[in-house]
Chains A and B, each alone.
Chain A
Amino acid sequence: DAGVTQSPTHLIKTRGQQVTLRCSPISGHKSVSWYQQVLGQGPQFIFQYYEKEERGRGNFPDRFSARQFPNYSSELNVNALLLGDSALYLCASSMGPGTGGVEQYFGPGTRLTVT
């Protein structure tokens, strides 16, 4: 079975531009979460979506937004890009909305470079 897939793999953008990252969860998984991993750091939680509704939001500015589609895939949008947005963006999926010890499966990530 296919794991979590993300596209594109790499992306280079200029400051001030907008970017859209895409994620397809594992078949049967209805929850998608997004994380930002800056080089040398651990991932930071951005959003969780379940059944097209936002379930949780991390400490990120309003320039970051996301949505989930009826097929449970998801997009992360970042507006007015800053140099500091350069990072690996990870998508994770899980079966349900559960909390705590629910296992999340991570995709390979999209490497965003802002110049």
Chain B
Amino acid sequence: GDSVTQMEGPVTLSEEAFLTINCTYTATGYPSLFWYVQYPGEGLQLLLKATKADDKGSNKGFEATYRKETTSFHLEKGSVQVSDSAVYFCALSGGGYQKVTFGTGTKLQVIP
């Protein structure tokens, strides 16, 4: 079945540092790929998505590129802020209905 593997956290960075959170997936066919973010005390929010190979999703300075050859969708940001502290989930969706398969989440803590 479909699965998503993402790097374990927590990840602690200083403000303005470069962020990479690795994500790889296993799926049949051509899934859509997502990054969701969960801020403390809030619900899940879609951060960015990519629906086909080589697409780059971007939002709020975050980027991720759909790499079919390496089955990866790594999340990057050039300069993190304290307000980026949250749990980040890599996810995929494919098939005949709207099931989203999530990774286990990576907690990011940004310190001033």
Contacts and interface: CB of A to CB of B under 8 A. Distances in A.
Interface of A: 4, 31, 33, 35, 40-45, 48, 55-56, 58, 90, 92, 94, 97-109
Interface size class of B (residues with CB under 8 A): 20 to 34
A33 B43 CA distance: 15
B93 interface: yes
- 9 smallest beta-carbon distances between A and B, as pairs: A42-B102, A56-B97, A101-B32, A101-B51, A106-B44, A45-B99, A100-B32, A108-B43, A55-B97
Given A100-B31, A100-B93, A56 B98 contact: yes
A31 B43 CA distance: 18
Nearest to B91: A42
Interface in B31-62: 31-32, 36, 42-46, 49, 51
Interface string B15-31: 00000000000000001
A31 B105 contact: no
B32 A106 contact: no
B78 interface: no
A97 B98 CA distance: 8
